[in-house]
A = this chain, B = another copy of it.
Amino acid sequence: MASETWVAFPRWLASAVPGEPVREDWGVAVRGALIVDVAPSGHLRRNFAGARVVELPDCLLLPGLINLHCHAAMSLLRGVGDDLPLKTWLEERIWPLEQALMCEDFVADGSALAAIEMLLGGVTTVNDMYFYPEHALTAMRAAGMRVVAGLIVVDFPSAYARDAEDYLRKGLALRDRWLGDPLCSFSLAPHAPYTVSDAALREVAVLAAELDLPVHMHLHETALEIEQSLQQHRMRPLRRLEHLGLLGPELIAVHAVHLTVDDISCLAACGVHVAHCPHSNLKLASGFARVEAMRKAGINVGLGTDGAASNNRLDLLAEAATAARLAKAVSGKAEAFGATEVLHALTLGAARALRLDQRIGSIEKGKEADLVAISMQSVHHTPVHDPLSHLIFVAGREDVLEVWVAGQAVVSRRQPVGLGLQGALQRVGARSAMWQNRVEEVLAGRP
């Protein structure tokens, strides 16, 4: 069973390999976790005559989507205090709730909920950052998802850890325990310039180099962050990271909303990757990231949903549509960030930022079979003149028909079929009502 061979025949295949067009009448052969062939359908039907066949009429097959920035557990706090000024939202809603509710179970249940939502929407890999990363990782891996666990570091104490050293020690121990899992990898995740000290950031830079780990960090999200850094450190956060040895191809800068022309050149020259989270940036009124300018400068840009408390959909297809449209308006060019480039950001670009591009991010022989089939059979896809345009500008997550992670079917006919995913669904169904009551108690001042 683990090395069963099967062949999928979609109507269109978007490999996400740079330069390759969308193919019609091509298919993919999978054995165990791996893609063993990508070729015209006739060739595959001859060469894999005994294999199980998965027919995908009217479907576009593409690599699994990669969510380059998430706080999965926050799905339990979705819609708690929308339409409030940022300060009120944080001080009167998010922080008191986190303080009252933060524990292993909160993270496990919220992350399971998020993993289900993401998998049903075609997201096969998530780059996560939150307290209790081992419980997030365990819950999301159990649901069947590929996870990059962010080893969170902040200076302030939480229920999870005492200080920066404690966060780091716990994170590294977690990494040691999970090193053998094939669907799990790690990043160092210092939260943001304003929550981590110079000393801790220096330690992160050393560890990133020693252990060859990516670094996942909020950067230049708001104007206030930059202002405060100028007051406190007499330099912009980006320059501070440069001084601390953190600006390099290991860094995934999340948001990167407020960048000067010099900042963009600097990020490009250092090979820093950017996780663009347009819904969060708009909803929190953080500002407009200059994605097209970053891309033109050579910066590798991926897309992230951020957490459900500030988005409020963990829906990477919707994020992609917004990113594409927004880049056009921000740059003033209708040709900016076209569908091909957005597909790259959703897949291979994000995989590269996570150092997983040798294993996932495109449909190529030898890569792992993280695959998504988008159905284009419904009225809103009638007719399809350009399947890639429909993927980015028309398709919604309701069109995600089939999802595989490392060759295993997780979603089929829009329904959860993976045993892990079904188990996660049962678990969160029972527990979310309890969390809802707890949230309401805290907001009512009865924690």
Which residues of A are at the interface with B, using a C-beta cutoff of 8 A? 76-80, 82-86, 89, 113, 116-117, 120, 279, 281-288, 311-315, 318, 321-322, 324-326, 328-329, 331-336, 338-339, 379-380, 382-386, 389-390, 392-394, 396-398, 425, 428-429, 432-433, 435-436, 439-440
Contacts and interface: CB of A to CB of B under 8 A. Distances in A.
A437 B312 CA distance: 40
Contact of A279 (B325, B338, B389): B325
Contact of A313 (B283, B393, B425): B393
B428 A382 contact: yes
Contacts of A383: 76, 78, 432-433, 435-436, 439
Contacts of A393: 79, 82, 283, 311-313
A394 B312 contact: yes
Given A79-B389, A117-B380, A385-B439, A333 B397 contact: no
27 contacts: A78-B383, A79-B385, A79-B394, A82-B339, A82-B393, A83-B334, A83-B338, A84-B335, A85-B334, A89-B334, A113-B379, A116-B379, A117-B379, A117-B380, A282-B325, A283-B325, A312-B390, A312-B393, A313-B394, A315-B380, A318-B321, A318-B396, A322-B325, A382-B429, A383-B435, A383-B436, A396-B396
A89 B314 CA distance: 32
A288 B282 CA distance: 12
A228 B390 CA distance: 34
A381 to B, nearest CB: 9
Contacts of A322: 322, 325
A335 B80 contact: no
Task: Report the 4 A-B pairs with minimum CB-CB distance, sorted nearest first.
Answer: A398-B398, A83-B338, A79-B389, A383-B436
Given A282-B328, A384-B436, 12 more contacts: A76-B383, A79-B385, A79-B390, A80-B385, A82-B392, A85-B334, A117-B379, A281-B329, A286-B329, A311-B393, A383-B432, A383-B439
